[in-house]
Amino acid sequence: MNQLILTACIAELSAVRYTPAGLPALDLSLHHESQQTEAGNDRQVKLVIKAVAFGAMAERIGQHSIGKDWQFSGFLATPRNGKYAVFHIQDFQST
């Protein structure tokens, strides 16, 4: 199963672009900070991850401003010409 749920804020937001098929697409960066327990020890975690949304989801996210925390859900995939995973957002809601 490839499913990711992440509470994060929008750190960067590009302008909505359109795929060759005419589908709206939005590239963004998400920033996450939390405290996690690993091997019995508390650890501060910071993460910046590239994300993308398509269709109506891209239009919805594009209406929101940078800096507010949201809970995002979706999956990870590597672009055809990429070397890193990108978070594909399928849904989001206020935290």
pTM for the structure as a whole: 0.91
Per-residue pLDDT tens over the stretch 28-69: 999 999 999 999 999 999 999 999 999 999 999 988 878 889
Element (H, E) at 61: helix 55-62
**DSSP SS3 for 90:** strand
| Domain locations in the chain as residue ranges | 4-90
What pLDDT score was predicted for residue 67? 86
What pLDDT score was predicted for residue 1? 96
What pLDDT score was predicted for residue 17? 94
38 and 45 Cβ atoms separated by less than 8 Å: no
Does the pLDDT value for residue 74 go beyond 90?
yes
CATH entry, 4-90, from 1.20.1050.10, 3.30.70.890, 2.60.40.10, 2.40.50.140: 2.40.50.140
In a 10 Å sphere around its CB, with 0-12 CB exposed, 13-18 middle and 19+ buried, how is residue 94 labelled?
exposed
Does the pLDDT value for residue 81 go beyond 90?
no
Structure tokens at 88: 């594909």
